[in-house]
Amino acid sequence: MPTAKSTLSTSDLIRATGVKVTPARMRVLELLNGAGRPLSHSDIESALVARPIDRVTLYRVLDSLVASALALKAVDTRGVYHYSAAAAHHRHSNHVHFHCTGCGGSFCLDAKPPSAPKLPRGFQLSAIAFELRGKCKSCISG
């Protein structure tokens, strides 16, 4: 008899969204899930050099993961998109982050994100971004 599993496998997660389970999607989603921070297209390309994925395919894989809500996409202060696995992202949605403009690092802070203010009638909120920027300890002293 099959073992009861509480966590869904990567391939199950992908299949559940209705798209094909392909090696590229598997490798990228697993990479995002293992990463401790949002990764850019070129971060991912570098991480997968061993068996490279075509540049364009990688963009399309990332698009599809975002479209199926398995990943999230955000633009950084240099204007580059960074992707994170939804599962990993949710672990960080209860506190705010500090982004170092020196080293690019992201730091978890012990503070809840602010709640949304009242919106004008008829407006529909889809996202709140609260981001702190500056220099981290080692970028100042180092």
Question: Which residues lie near a second copy (CB under 8 A)?
Answer: 75-81, 96, 98, 101, 107, 109-111, 114, 116-137, 140-141
Query: Quick check: 99 binds Zn ion (CB under 5 A)?
Result: no
Q: Which does 92 bind (CB under 5 to 8 A by kind): Mn ion, DNA, a second copy, none?
A: Mn ion
In sequence order, the 6+-apart residues with CB closer than 8 A to the CB of 106 are 37, 38, 97, 98, 99, 100
Judged on CB neighbours under 10 Å (0-12, 13-18, 19+), 50 is: exposed
User: Residue 107 belongs to what H/E stretch?
Assistant: strand 106-108
* Nearest position to Mn ion, beta carbon: 108
What is the closest distance, in whole angstroms, from the C-beta atom of residue 21 to a second copy in the complex? 30
What is the closest distance, in whole angstroms, from the C-beta atom of residue 123 to Zn ion in the complex? 9
- Contact pick of 39, 62, 70, 100 for Zn ion (by CB under 5 A): 100
CA distance 136 to 128: 24
Q: Is 72 helix (H, G, I), strand (E, B) or coil?
A: strand
Give whichever of 9 and 77 is closer to a second copy, judged by the CB atom: 77
Binding interface with Zn ion (CB under 5 A):
100, 102-103, 105, 136, 139
